Structure 1
Amino acid sequence: MMAKIIIKLTFLVVFFGSFQMSGQEIKFDGDPDASFENARNLAFNLQRKQAQDTLLFILTKYPDYHDIRSFLATTYSWDGEYKKARKEFNYVLEKDKENKPTWIAAIKNELWADLPYAAIDMTNNALKTFPDDSELLLLKASAQENTNNPLEALSTIELVLEKNPDDQKAKDYKATLNNGLSRNAIGITASVDLYSDVFDPMQYYALMYRRQTKYGSIIGRVNYNRRFNENGLQYEVDLYPKIAKGLYAYVNVGIANTFLFPDVKYGAELFKSLPKSFEVSLGFRTLKYSTTTNIYTGSIGWYTGNSYLSFRPYFTPGETGTSKSGTFTYRKYRSDADNYLGVAVSVGFSPEINQFNINENAAKFVDLESQRINMGYYFTSANKQNAWGAQFAVSHQEIIFDQGNFFWIYSLALSWELKFK
């Protein structure tokens, strides 16, 4: 009996001893700084899970190593795990309210989580410890803008510039806010087409007024065209109504009383945002001369970093069949959507993109060959109120009344736009 008791006690001692040893084995035992550096390298090389495992392992022995916990929270935020990030950030800030980098990272976490009001509250708390701090005020302005209060955001930016008039980030942000608050714009476009054969130069001018509303933008335009020693005017309206988040439309109507333009033109298109920064659309255009030409179109676009790529096909039924053409566009943006370099390549004939090189019988000639490359550069003034653009295009197009023969068209266009409140 005594032997059995001794055996059981021995088993229990060995078991708990092993458990304790096992528990000791899973605790971190190394250089926390070196391991932290290794985890950072893993995180920045897109090995986030391995980095997080390493950081959690270090925290088993050093739970108050705040830089490690804050960086762990930041990796959660990068992965969209905002609740997990918030928990870790709060742990650090409860113990160290003077940890400014953690305040900044925690506020950004709320902004990325699309919780701007929470970001404002957190920024106000941080400003109690760091009064008038420019980084925190810039974040507060960003949160205020995200609550659809650009005027409040502008007031916050003014506080930054009062303390430091040379703060470039604040100056750039102020210009951006003022640009957004400019609900009105007027603009002028002038262009000319030079033909290698057959036609004399053709001139085009447009006067535009745009108004941004909460329902979308409205654009009124008067187009002037001089071709074939004749002058003509066209009146157009473009609408971009907002329907729902990620869904908007394009509607166009134009009228004229000259053979240089369609008597009536109209069109509509629906645009939908998709995951992974893609956008698709589907629509039509109609041109009414003595006959009616219908054009069916759509697009697929992709925003990646500061670049935008899109492809737009055109299908135009006609008496000789259905014309198929398309345009590929690439844009490289700089500071914002008004500053970019663009290139567009078109193949095939479509009355939509060749509308000034056709006549009222265009529907009979939809199988014409055409190639075109268009390059444009657009930029704004420092205060974003003035915007300029320049385009140069070269087209190689089959002659409508002499199929099989081609001419070259060299196009130059200049534009200017003024935004105001």
Structure 2
Amino acid sequence: MISKIIKLTFILAFFGIFQMSGQEIKFDGDPDASFENARNLAFNQQRKQAQDTLLFILTKYPDYHDIRSFLATTYSWDGEYKKARKEFDYILEKDKESKTTWIAAIKNELWGDLPYVAIEMTNNALKKFPNDAELLYLKASAQEKTNNPLEALNTLELILTQNPDDQKAKEYKTSLNNDLSRNAIGITSSVDIYSDVFDPMQYYALTYRRQTKYGSIIGRVNFNRRFNENGLQYEVDLYPKIAKGLYAYVNIGLSKSFLFPDVRYGLEFYKSLPKSFEVSLGIRTLKYSTTTNIYTGSLGWYTGNSYLAFRPYFTPGETGTSKSGTLTYRKYRSDADNYLGVALSVGFSPEINQFNINEDAAKFVDLKAQRINLSYYFTSSNKQNAWGTQFGVSHQEIIFDQGNYFWIYSVALSWELKFK
């Protein structure tokens, strides 16, 4: 009898503890104060703690939509788009009049790379909020992601019809028009002035570029005046897309002038890596009376509005393998056509010093050289015109008098016009 009483007491105590535990997990506090605390946690990189707090509040206040919407938004920030969609759907089933929820839910689909779903959602939201500028802007973004920039432009025109001074829509329209300008022509002019030995050398290039869905195609005619002689070279550059994060560079150039190699060609593969890194590996070949191969590659890193890259060159020659390299830094402004750059080079490579030679390149690969180049590129307000300026200073060993050096001062100007 005593043992039965003890067992019964134990069972009652166990369930009592279980019940107390169940009571303890229920939220019992000020939801607004706890919500504010969760927001502070989320904005201070303590997202998991914030989400736990928000979920805890929702156990008692499941229809506190601001809390659920913020929880969904934190899921979006973390790339958990399915979790976010579930929370947004819960809210919109009960309240379709919240524009902020529609906007957050549409952004979640855009971030989750589901632009067609985003378009459908914006259409539904626009039934509740006709001609709303924020929703129309999101619709244009989704249309662009589905490779329909013309439809995106039409949507932006609806915004600008209502408010011609909408700066965000105007800038987006300019950007889309720039992307639709798949053709470009350009001119480059440069001169090298030598401190000794050589007269100034002049270089000009006429370029046509077309952007296709397979990648860029660039045709170029190079004109060079050196040693009181003129010469032409014809080049084609291709940048074919191979797969996501992988593309190539293909080049071929032909000339009948001794100022250029008879044939030059290049091949290089570029691969995107995590953390905004990019690597490449390739070869360049210059054919004069003999053939010179240049092996190269690059390691680049995009961080914020900056780009840093290092490119080495390895050139086998008669006296061994020459090693040279270039370190490049760019500070971008509004886009890839607007930046300030600096490049530092050490060593002689026929790839970057090709205009300093006019015969068998392999003879000169052991020359010593140092170079600094400053560049500034900018565009017009409508992005259709692009200009570039460069200024470089080189300290280079004289080809036929090794051990002695001269200075080379280089100035280059370029202009490009984009059109549809």
The reply to whether TM is greater than 0.5 is yes
Question: 1-side partners of 2:269 and 2:360: how far apart?
Answer: 29
| More deviation, 301-310/291-300 | 301-310
| SS at 1:169 equivalent | helix
Please state how far the C-alpha of 1:352 moved relative to its aligned partner: 0.6
Partner of 2:81 in structure 1?
82
Please state how far the C-alpha of 1:61 moved relative to its aligned partner: 2.1
* Residue 284 (structure 2) pairs with residue 285 (structure 1): yes
Please state how far the C-alpha of 1:274 moved relative to its aligned partner: 2.2
Alignment of 1:58-69 (within 5 A): 58-69=57-68
Alignment of 1:265-304 (within 5 A): 265-304=264-303
RMSD: 1.7
| More deviation, 6-15/320-329 | 6-15
Please state how far the C-alpha of 1:187 moved relative to its aligned partner: 0.5
Instruction: State how many pairs are aligned.
Output: 420
Partner of 1:181 in structure 2?
180
Q: Which string of whole-angstrom CA distances, capped at 9 and with x for unpartnered residues, describes residues 266-309 of structure 1?
A: 11111222222222211111111122211011112222222222
Question: 2-side partners of 1:84 and 1:10: how far apart?
Answer: 44
| SS at 2:70 equivalent | helix
Partner of 2:131 in structure 1?
132
* Residue 194 (structure 2) pairs with residue 195 (structure 1): yes
Q: Which string of whole-angstrom CA distances, capped at 9 and with x for unpartnered residues, describes residues 345-375 of structure 1?
A: 1111111111112231331121111111212
Partner of 2:224 in structure 1?
225
Please state how far the C-alpha of 1:381 moved relative to its aligned partner: 1.3
Partner of 2:363 in structure 1?
364
Question: 1-side partners of 2:346 and 2:43: how far apart?
Answer: 43
State the one-letter code of the partner of 2:118: A
Quick check: 2:72–2:87 contact (8 Å CA) kept in 1? yes
Alignment of 1:99-138 (within 5 A): 99-138=98-137
Please state how far the C-alpha of 1:138 moved relative to its aligned partner: 1.1
Structure 1: which 5+ runs fail to align? none
Please state how far the C-alpha of 1:30 moved relative to its aligned partner: 2.7
Question: 1-side partners of 2:41 and 2:344: how far apart?
Answer: 41
Question: 2-side partners of 1:368 and 1:357: how far apart?
Answer: 11
Question: 2-side partners of 1:85 and 1:23: how far apart?
Answer: 27
Partner of 1:156 in structure 2?
155
Partner of 1:354 in structure 2?
353
Partner of 1:144 in structure 2?
143
Question: 1-side partners of 2:408 and 2:131: how far apart?
Answer: 58
Question: 2-side partners of 1:42 and 1:313: how far apart?
Answer: 46
| More deviation, 8-17/36-45 | 8-17
| SS at 2:411 equivalent | strand
| SS at 1:337 equivalent | coil
Please state how far the C-alpha of 1:59 moved relative to its aligned partner: 1.7
Please state how far the C-alpha of 1:121 moved relative to its aligned partner: 0.7
Question: 2-side partners of 1:308 and 1:90: how far apart?
Answer: 40
Partner of 2:391 in structure 1?
392
State the one-letter code of the partner of 1:249: A
Please state how far the C-alpha of 1:180 moved relative to its aligned partner: 1.0
Question: 1-side partners of 2:11 and 2:289: how far apart?
Answer: 101
State the one-letter code of the partner of 1:320: T
Q: Percent identity?
A: 86
Question: 2-side partners of 1:166 and 1:98: how far apart?
Answer: 27
Question: 1-side partners of 2:408 and 2:97: how far apart?
Answer: 66
Q: Which string of whole-angstrom CA distances, capped at 9 and with x for unpartnered residues, describes residues 141-165 of structure 1?
A: 1111111111111111111111111
Partner of 2:207 in structure 1?
208
Please state how far the C-alpha of 1:5 moved relative to its aligned partner: 6.7
| SS at 1:165 equivalent | coil
Alignment of 1:254-333 (within 5 A): 254-333=253-332
Please state how far the C-alpha of 1:7 moved relative to its aligned partner: 5.5
Please state how far the C-alpha of 1:11 moved relative to its aligned partner: 4.5
Partner of 2:90 in structure 1?
91
Please state how far the C-alpha of 1:38 moved relative to its aligned partner: 2.3
Partner of 1:50 in structure 2?
49
Please state how far the C-alpha of 1:237 moved relative to its aligned partner: 0.8
Question: 2-side partners of 1:31 and 1:344: how far apart?
Answer: 59
Question: 2-side partners of 1:397 and 1:67: how far apart?
Answer: 67
Please state how far the C-alpha of 1:100 moved relative to its aligned partner: 1.8
Partner of 1:238 in structure 2?
237
Question: 1-side partners of 2:239 and 2:100: how far apart?
Answer: 41
Please state how far the C-alpha of 1:4 moved relative to its aligned partner: 6.7
State the one-letter code of the partner of 1:154: L
Quick check: 2:300–2:310 contact (8 Å CA) kept in 1? yes
Partner of 1:16 in structure 2?
15
| SS at 1:237 equivalent | strand
TM-score, length basis structure 2: 0.96
| SS at 1:271 equivalent | strand
Q: Which string of whole-angstrom CA distances, capped at 9 and with x for unpartnered residues, describes residues 297-323 of structure 1?
A: 111222222222221111100000101
Q: Which string of whole-angstrom CA distances, capped at 9 and with x for unpartnered residues, describes residues 206-259 of structure 1?
A: 110111222221111111111122211111111111222222211111111222
| SS at 2:164 equivalent | coil
